Amino acid sequence: MYQKYNSPRVFFPRTISETLEMVERESNAVFWAGGTELSCRSMRKDLIDLPKTVISLCLVEELARASRSEYGLDIGAMMTFERLLRIGKSTLPTGLHETINSIGNLPLRNRATIGGHLALQTRIGDLHPLLELLDAKIEIRSPSRGGRKRSQIKKIPIMLLEEKNLLNSGELISKISIPTDNWDIAFHRRILPGNDENKVLIFTALASVEGGVLSECRMAFSDGCTGILRDREIEAHMTGQKLPLGYRELKILDEAIIELTAPWKTRSYDRKTSMACARDFLKRIEDNNINGMIL
Amino acid sequence: MKISFVLNGEPVEIDTMPHRRTLDLLRESFQIRSIYYRCNNRGCGLCLILLDGNPMHSCLIPAFELRLRDIWTMEGISARKEFEDLVAGFELANAKLCSFCAPSRALVAEALLKSALNPDMKQLRFTAEAVKCSCNSTLRIIDGLEKAAEFRRERLRVSKV
The string of DSSP codes covering A179-200 is: -----SEEEEEEE-GGG-GGG-
pLDDT value of residue A295: 44
- Residue B24 near chain A (CB below 8 Å): yes
pLDDT value of residue B147: 96
Domain boundaries, chain B: 2-73, 83-156
Q: Which of A59-63, A92-96, A162-166, B47-51 has the lowest mean pLDDT?
A: A162-166
Q: Which residues contact A133 (CB under 8 A, 6 or more apart)?
A: A95, A204, A205, A206, A218, A219, A220, A230
The answer to whether the A64-179 and A191-290 domains have the same CATH topology is no
Residues of B in contact with A2 (CB under 8 A): 16-17, 20
B155–chain A nearest CA distance, Å: 26
**Cβ(B20)–Cβ(A2) under 8 Å?**
yes
Residues paired with B2 in a beta bridge: B15
Q: Does domain B2-73 have CATH number 3.10.20.30?
A: yes
Least CA distance to A47: which residue of chain B?
A: B20
Cβ <8 Å between B59 and A105:
no
Residues of A in contact with B48 (CB under 8 A): 107
**Residue of A105, A108, A109, A113 best to disrupt the B interface, most CBs of B under 10 A:** A105
Least CA distance to A40: which residue of chain B?
A: B41
Q: Which of A52-61, A78-87, A150-159, B48-57 has the lowest mean pLDDT?
A: A150-159
Domain boundaries, chain A: 9-56, 64-179, 191-290
Mean residue pLDDT of chain A comes to: 83
125-154 of B, contacting A, C-beta below 8 A: 126-127, 129-130
pLDDT at residue A79 greater than cutoff 90: yes
Question: What confidence tens digit (pLDDT) does each residue in B63-87 have?
Answer: 999 999 999 999 999 999 999 999 9
Amino acid, res. B145: L
Mean residue pLDDT of chain B comes to: 93
pLDDT value of residue B140: 96
A87 vs B12: CA distance, rounded Å: 34
Total beta-carbon pairs less than 8 A apart between chain A and chain B: 89
B127–chain A nearest CA distance, Å: 7
pLDDT band at A150; cut points 50, 70, 90? very low
ipTM of this model? 0.92
Question: What confidence tens digit (pLDDT) does each residue in A232-249 have?
Answer: 899 999 899 888 888 998
Of B45, B60, B122, the CB nearest to A36: B60
pLDDT value of residue A148: 52
Cβ <8 Å between A45 and B21:
yes
- Mean of the pLDDT values across residues A189-209? 83
CA angle B133, B139, B141 (to 5 degrees): 55
**Cβ(A37)–Cβ(A122) under 8 Å?**
yes
pLDDT at residue A1 greater than cutoff 60: no
Residue A110 to residues A113, A114, A231, B39, B100, Cα–Cα distance (Å): 8, 11, 35, 19, 22
- Mean of the pLDDT values across residues A254-282? 85
Residues of A in contact with B26 (CB under 8 A): none
Topology of A64-179 in CATH?
Answer: 3.30.465
Q: What proportion of chain A, given as a percentage, has pLDDT over 70?
A: 86
- Mean of the pLDDT values across residues A268-288? 85
Residues paired with B107 in a beta bridge: none
Of B1, B24, B43, the CB nearest to A46: B24
68-107 of B, contacting A, C-beta below 8 A: none
Residues of B in contact with A54 (CB under 8 A): 18, 64
- Residue B37 near chain A (CB below 8 Å): yes
Residues of B in contact with A43 (CB under 8 A): 40-41
Q: Which residues contact B41 (CB under 8 A, 6 or more apart)?
A: A39, A40, A41, A42, A43, B57, B59, B60
pLDDT at residue A145 greater than cutoff 60: no
CATH class entry, domain B83-156: mainly alpha
Q: Which residues of A touch B (CB under 8 A)?
A: 2, 5, 7-8, 10, 12, 35-36, 39-43, 45-50, 54, 56, 58, 82, 101, 104-108, 110-111
pLDDT value of residue A149: 52
pLDDT at residue B122 greater than cutoff 80: yes
pTM for this one? 0.89
Q: Does domain A191-290 have CATH number 3.30.390.50?
A: yes
